[in-house]
Structure 1
Amino acid sequence: GQSKREVNININRFRLEALGMGVDEVIAGLQSENVNAPLGRLNRNNSEYPLRVSGKPEAVDRFKTMVIGQRNGRPIMLSEVAEIKDGIEEQRSLAFVNGVQAVSLDILKQSGANVVGTVDRVKKEISKLQSELPPGAKIEIVRDGSIMIRDSVRDVQDTLILGGILTIFIVFLFLNSWRSTVITGLTLPISVISSFIVMNFLGMTLNVLTLMALSLAIGLLIDDAIVVRENIVRHLERGQDHFEAAREGTSEIGLAVLATTFSIVAVFAPVAFMKGIIGRFFFQFGMTVTFAVLVSLFVSFTLDPMLSSRWYDPDIERKGKRHLVARALDRFNNWFDRTADQYRIVIAWTLKHRRTVLLIAVLSLAGGLMVFKFFLESEFVPGYDQGEFEVNFTTAPDASVDETRGRVRAVLTSLKGIPEVQHTYATIGAGDQGTVRDAKVYVKLVDRRERKRPQKAIQEETRYRLQKIPGILPFITEAGRMDTRKPLLVNVRGDDISLLKKYAAALKEKMYQIPGIVDIEVTLEQDIPEYRLTVDRERAFDVGITTGHIVRTVGALVGGQAVTTYEDEDGDAVNVRVRLPDTLRQDLSHVEKLRLAVQKPGNGPTLIPLGELVTYSIKPTPSEINRQDLTRQVVISANLDNLPLGTAIEKVDQAASLIKMPPGYRVFFSGEAEQMAESFGYMAEALILAIVLVYLILAAQFESFIDPLSIMLSLPLSLMAYRRYDQHHVTDRPHYADGPRDKECHPARRFCQGAALSRYGSDRGNHYRRPNETSSHPDDHPGYDLRNASPRPGNRRGSGDAGTHGSCGGRWTHHIDFFDSSCCACDVFGSR
């Protein structure tokens, strides 16, 4: 919507022809007279003085007296053949805020700059400029990209704090000791705050991904401390002093904790170094989690044992007076024991019906594979309610800026009927590639708490209203998208434009039959009517006129040509444009009557009508021609309405296979579809690498390449559900001694298909021994005969983590796995 100052030289065609002058002579006269150039320097008395000619007029009125030529010895001034106006350039872009015409300024951050910091600095400058504006003018921020970032960061911060509080509460609930809770809980602030060091060193910021990584890692950070503290307490209950209990308890499970942490690192390190756009996002995510868990490992091996050896728990055996909180914890423990008894019955049943359990596992795997293959849909970036969206539309191929302005006003009037719309910001011809047929309307909705309908429903109503406005091809996009194009882009590639149009039209008709695909648009569907002038070369040669002469003359008079510049009062360069007045360039008949001046020796200038040298015709021409890899293509773009991108790709691909195309013509996908396929490939590579690294860690822990396979075989069972649920692993450890065999259930908290394997493997590796070895682990004694589901003497204290195991009271330990809610963040960027 900006209006730039311009000096308009409106040529008087009739006066010019009367003097026998051509427009090229006027242009040459302007360029030769309007000169300001250095001429060298003068040396005088050991001083140097630059020499310059100043031929540029000091005011616009001075252009009138500028001599541009001569006739019969008389100088011809510019005012004799043209009208000079101090005006503005022709407007090819407009902006409207709530329907009122305005001048808009889009501010983009530099590469590597912080969005929130940039916005804050811009707002500070705006507050200074506001006081300098004339009355009636104001600066209004219609779109603030930092709002969504601030809201997202605040939500994740709240989640991080709440997650930490809940984690500490759960730890206290199971450890039943506030000293143990403090000792283990110190891992959280130390690990989180220490993560800020590496984030600053690597140039990271506090953003959604880094904060989400810390939120996700909350449960992981405290695990090592819980395991170490739990094992130390177990040694204390066996009668050891605090120093020996801390030393032996830590060293006893050191290898298992070390393997667990490195397995988590093995999962997240490949995620941090993925390639492509997905790698750009998840680098900060993976590095934050990796460094945080490494710090938690260091704290678990240093601070926790030190505090455990110095900070005594006065009631380690729980023989003192039970206060209100202790009694409440006892009631929780009793309830948990009853729940664990039920779980023990289930375990006993599974051990008695191994074939049935194995069959269920195989069927679950097959069912998961079927769901994964035939029912589970995929998309690149899941949509969400941002409270803003954009309406884009194009008008008729031959529409002028005034025609598009009228359509924009109709769209804005229609949007006023939607009560949830807070304000609108419309532009015409914005951007480097925008034309007067292209319009965009940014729609800002009221806050989600102030409206009853979600953004999707409002977009549906908007789409319905826009369909009633004639003369536009509208489509709706999400605001703030990295890719401003529609999510579904289908390319038909080949050499012949007519065949490309034919196949694109056929595919478009089939896409209309697919539910959920809306706002379909084809690049070559609408041709622009174009006047084409064909030069009679023989006639032009006879009169001494070249095609270049015609192009320069007609181009300057009709299209306008900035031939020189004028330096205004502020020292800024203002274009000086030569062209015909608006009334003489509205129709082709005016163009045909233009006369071209031909200078012939001895005879003076001769004027030749343009109509005698050219013929014209109206022919359609493509509005745009797309090429990729030097091959022409037609792009079919579409929006998706409650249809995942992956499903849309499959259905369009099936529809395209029904269209018979000759060799050299094919259909392929680009845009988000291409990015999704690339990103899924990189994520698959990271997953495979993580599994391999975890397997190698387990192999090093077990000192065997065979034993880890029993753990790795549990991985395919995760396909039975997309959400990350814990799996139950039962280790049958035979005892070659009198009495029944002991069946221990070790928890395997699976994280993102990799970390769970390490968790179970490290637990198992800590207690693992070969059949002919004598049991050396303190817990290797008869505890439960799970086959008979009956408790036996010799209860033992559990050494698992409090997040998934029973509490630390002197009671039988039941190992129960829970859903790991932190794993919900695994589908941030949508996957299968």
Structure 2
Amino acid sequence: LDGAHQSYTIAANDQIAAADAYRDLIIAYRSGAPVLLKDVADVVEGLENSKVGGWYQGTPAVIIDIQRQPGANVIETVKRIRAELPRLQRAMPVGIELTIVHDRTGTIRASVRDVQFTLVLSISLVVLVVLIFLRTIRATVIAGVALPLSLVATFGVMWFCGFSLDNLSLMALTIGTGFVIDDAIVMIENIVRHLEQGEDPMNAALLGASEIGFTVISLTMSLIAVFIPLLFMTGIVGRMFREFALTLTIAVVTSAVVSLTLTPMMCSRLLRHSQGSTGSLARWFNAAVDGSVELYRRSLEWVLRHQAATLSVTALTFAATVWLYVIVPKGFLPVQDTSLITAVTEAGPEVSFAEMQRLQDQVTAAVRRDPDVTGVVSVVGVSTMNPTPNAGRLAITLKSRDQRQAFVTEIIDRLKQAVAPIPGMVVHFQPVQDIQISTRPSRAQYQYTLTGTNAREVLDWSARLVDRLQDDARLQDVASEVQEGGLRAFVRVDRERAGRLGVSMQAINDTLYDAFGQRQISTIYGQANQYRVILEAKPEYQRDPTALAKLYVPAGVNTQTQTLSSSTSTQVILPTTSTNLVPLGAVATVERTTAPLAIMHDGQFPAATISFDL
């Protein structure tokens, strides 16, 4: 309001701020007396969705799954999250404990540490071999400097390209250690040869570099040619090995540049005419090398004298190689032990939430008894991971790899035997992998999705395909996400009778939704939280289809009604004294049938995903 001298803001107590206030809400008048909401309903503070539950170690819990943004560094992300946990714990009420169930960065850090150790070990061994064969500290220092310098330069190019030091890039550097030092060794040996022929260090370096430069370049180009196909690979393999191939290519090119520039310069400054040692160790090593050369000479003479036998052995080796390639088991990726197992639990399609929870508790108890299991997260109810109400999820945390003897596949076999005696429940286990190739939650590692325009045909053909796949001995844990056989109460409305009584289809739909759909009618806004107000029938009226006979629907064309207002656009129609109420059974019959619990879609088409393991 804006007057001549003063202005006012308008406010009203139209918002209910507590659940208790709903109990005294007047919803109708009968015989001149008000009817309060508490007279016909129970107002309770409960869960927004009572058909979803989560547990950790058998204790009710709220499960939070945190994933990094694309492009973010997972280790740094987890580090920052862990830094925030103490502050979040202090802000929680007494009795609420914040627990980290599983941290995937543990296995990542362990893998990186292993690769780092392998890289350092390979560098040390390469330098040791160079020392043994060159037999001079000066030449070894020159080759040893070329190796870390090439790697450091590679790190700079990797940073410029946006790469990180992960398992693949570190593995590329480990493999490239031998390639990186090869160019320097070739260059040093040629310069040493000129020194032994009487050239001074500067001329020896110039002559050696000019003679061997083309060889170094040709070796580098041949190595790069090997990795070029990896750069153009597509799919998951291409995404995995593109960084690997680029890192290795960068390291090889960098080593060639170092070998053509720094190595000759250091040779001209450090190498002298008096190379090598005449000590006992050097004499022993020379004798060993000479013996190896003599053994090679004799074997070469024997091969040249028996050419037919040599060619026969070569042909047999080639045939054995082809035979071994055919019989060796093949797969996309090896099974990885990340100390984490996921399980999909599945009961019959007609199971209730209470029965599903009971079966899930039995499975959880059986899994927790395994000596290698440290924690179990259990989730039941329809969610993003559970598309149907008869499915549940388990996240099983194992002891670290160094604290147990069994591999993850052996533990899965034990868990399968542990849960097998539980009637009415099927459990599918699979180890969590760092590289996931599945496109949706499934019961096994591999998936095949069948799509079509007709939902019925998709369901029928998926069942046939599952039967055929189950007969294949090469496959195991064949399962389908199709859940047929779910119980359905089909309300068949007699439209003619409903029309005579003035009952609209909208009124029937609203009545069913009010009773069983968990309709949200309002929201209570607190200082820190907000609470949804849910309308539904009492639990005793939600147990079986006979409850539908107790429902009444408003009838009459010109019915006067009042509404229960809310803070949202939703309004619940309430009958008044002038409203005619008609039993639902007067205009409809209830048929008990079966139907799929859910029909999945892929690209807007009906789809059925079949999963299996090898």
TM-score (norm 1): 0.66
Match of 1:99 in 2: 58
1:31 aligned partner:
none
The letter for the 2-side match of 1:245 is: A
Q: Is the 8 A contact 2:478 2:610 kept in 1?
A: yes
| Matches for 1:101-500 after TM superposition, within 5 Å | 101-313=60-272, 315-316=274-275, 318=276, 322=279, 327-354=280-307, 356-372=309-325, 374-429=326-381, 431-434=383-386, 435-480=388-433, 482=436, 483=438, 484-485=441-442, 486-491=444-449
Q: Which amino acid aligns with 2:554?
A: A
Amino acid in structure 1 at the alignment position of 2:507: H
| Aligned partner letter, 1:536 | D
Q: 1:545 aligns with which of 503, 509, 512?
A: 503
Q: Is the 8 A contact 2:368 2:376 kept in 1?
A: no
- The answer on whether the counterparts of 2:408 and 2:431 sit within 8 Å (CA) in structure 1 is no
Q: Matched residues in 1 for 2:384 and 2:361: separation?
A: 23
Q: CA deviation at 1:313?
A: 3.2
Aligned positions of 1:800-815 closer than 5 A? none
Distance 1:566 1:445 in 2: 42
In 1, distance between residues paired with 2:407 and 2:34? 73
> Unmatched 5+ residue regions in structure 1?
1-40, 641-832
Q: Figure out how many residues of one structure are paired with residues of the other and give that number.
A: 591
Q: CA deviation at 1:228?
A: 0.4
Q: Identify the match of residue 595 of structure 1 among 552, 563, 579.
A: 552
Q: 1:199·1:205 contact (CA, 8 Å) conserved in 2?
A: yes
Measure the CA separation in 1 of the matches of 2:339 and 2:19.
50
1:583-662 superposed matches below 5 A: 583-601=540-558, 604-627=578-601, 632=606, 634-640=608-614
CA contact (8 A) 1:600 1:606 kept: no
Amino acid at match of 1:576: V
Q: Residue 598 of structure 2 aligns to which amino acid in structure 1?
A: E
| Contact kept? 1:389, 1:477, Cα under 8 Å | yes
Whole-Å separation in 1 of the counterparts to 2:109 and 2:221: 34
Segment of structure 1 superposing worse, 278-287 or 55-64: 55-64
- Aligned-residue offset at 1:79: 4.3
Deviations 1:423-458 (A, max 9, x none): 222222374252442222222222333323222222
Deviation at 1:290, TM superposition (A): 1.4
Does 1:63 find its partner at 2:16?
A: no
Which amino acid in the other structure matches residue 514 of structure 2? A
Length-normalised TM-score, structure 2: 0.88
Alpha-carbon distance in structure 2 between the residues aligned to 1:84 and 1:631: 42
d(CA) in 2 for partners of 1:584, 1:502: 35
Distance 2:394 2:111 in 1: 25
Compute the RMSD of aligned alpha carbons.
Answer: 2.8
Pair 1:345–1:337, CA change in 2 (3 A): same
Q: Compared with structure 1, are the counterparts of its residues 75 and 311 closer, same or farther at alpha carbon in structure 2 (3 Å cutoff)?
A: same
Matched residues in 2 for 1:65 and 1:98: separation? 41
Q: How far apart are 1:590 and its partner, in Å?
A: 2.2
Offset from partner CA, 1:502-547 (integer Å, 9 cap, x none):
6555554454444453222133364211111111000011111121
SS in 1 for 2:422: coil
Task: Describe the shift of the 1:437–1:148 C-alpha distance in structure 2 as closer, same or farther (beyond 3 A).
Answer: same
> For the Cα contact (< 8 Å) 1:531–1:619, is it kept in 2?
yes
Cα distance in 2 between the residues matched to 1:43 and 1:328: 108
Secondary structure at the aligned position of 2:482 is classed as coil
Question: Aligned partners of 2:383, 2:600: CA distance in 1, in Å?
Answer: 19
Is the 8 Å Cα contact of residues 96 and 102 (structure 1) preserved in structure 2? Answer: yes
The answer to which of 515-524 and 191-200 deviates more is: 515-524
Q: Distance in 1 between matches of 2:14 and 2:300?
A: 99
SS at match of 2:46: strand
In the alignment, the residues of structure 2 paired with residue 206 and residue 187 of structure 1 have an alpha-carbon distance, to the nearest angstrom, of 21
Partner Cα separation in structure 1 for residue 23 and residue 403 of structure 2: 62
Kept in 2, the 8 Å contact 1:523–1:624? The answer is no
**Could you tell me which amino acid in structure 2 is paired with residue 387 of structure 1?**
S
Indicate yes or no: 2:534 matched with 1:581. no
Between 376-385 and 538-547, the greater mean CA deviation after superposition: 376-385
Q: Secondary structure at the match of 1:156?
A: helix
Query: What letter is aligned with 2:583?
Result: P
SS of structure 1 residue aligned to 2:147: helix
The residue that corresponds to 1:745 in the other structure is none
TM-superposition CA deviations, 1:682-720 (whole Å, max 9, x none): xxxxxxxxxxxxxxxxxxxxxxxxxxxxxxxxxxxxxxx
> Could you tell me whether the CA contact under 8 Å between 2:227 and 2:245 is conserved in 1?
yes
Check conservation: 1:42, 1:51, Cα contact below 8 A.
no
Q: For residues 135 and 564 of structure 1, do their structure 2 counterparts lie closer, same or farther at Cα, with a shift above 3 Å needed?
A: closer
Q: Pick closer, same or farther for the CA change 1:599–1:42 going to 2, 3 Å.
A: farther
Distance 1:329 1:548, change over 3 A: farther
Deviations 1:102-138 (A, max 9, x none): 2221111111111111111111111233344444432
Q: Contact 1:558–1:579 at 8 Å: present in 2 too? A: yes
Alpha carbons of 1:530 and 1:371: their partners in 2 closer, same or farther (altered >3 Å)?
same
Q: 1:439 to 1:630 in 2, by over 3 A?
A: closer
1:522 aligns with 2:480: yes
Kept in 2: contact 1:491–1:635 (CA 8 A): yes
- Paired residue secondary structure (2:45): strand
Distance (whole Å) between structure 2 residues aligned to residue 509 and residue 329 of structure 1: 71
**C-alpha distance in 1, partners of 2:465/2:596?**
19
Deviation at 1:216, TM superposition (A): 0.9
How many Å apart are 1:499 and its aligned residue?
6.3
Tell me the CA shift for residue 154 of structure 1: 0.3
The code of the aligned residue for 1:234 comes to R
- SS of the residue corresponding to residue 638 of structure 1 reads strand
**Cα pair distance change 1:529/1:305, threshold 3 Å:** same
Q: Find the partner of 1:90 among 49, 71, 76.
A: 49
Moved more, 300-309 or 284-293: 284-293
What secondary structure sits across from 2:579 in the alignment?
A: strand
SS in 2 for 1:86: coil
What is the Cα deviation at residue 183 of structure 1?
0.2
CA distance in 1, matches of 2:368, 2:474: 27
With a CA cutoff of 8 Å and minimum separation of 6, indicate the structure with the bigger relative contact order: 1
Change (3 A) 1:48 1:282: farther
SS in structure 1 at match of 2:254: helix
Question: Gaps (5+ residues) in structure 2?
Answer: 560-576
Cα drift, residue 229 of structure 1 = 0.4
**SS of residue in 1 equivalent to 2:332:** coil
Contact 1:225 1:304 in 2 (8 A): yes
Letter in 2 for 1:389: I
Partner-residue secondary structure (3-state), 2:79: helix
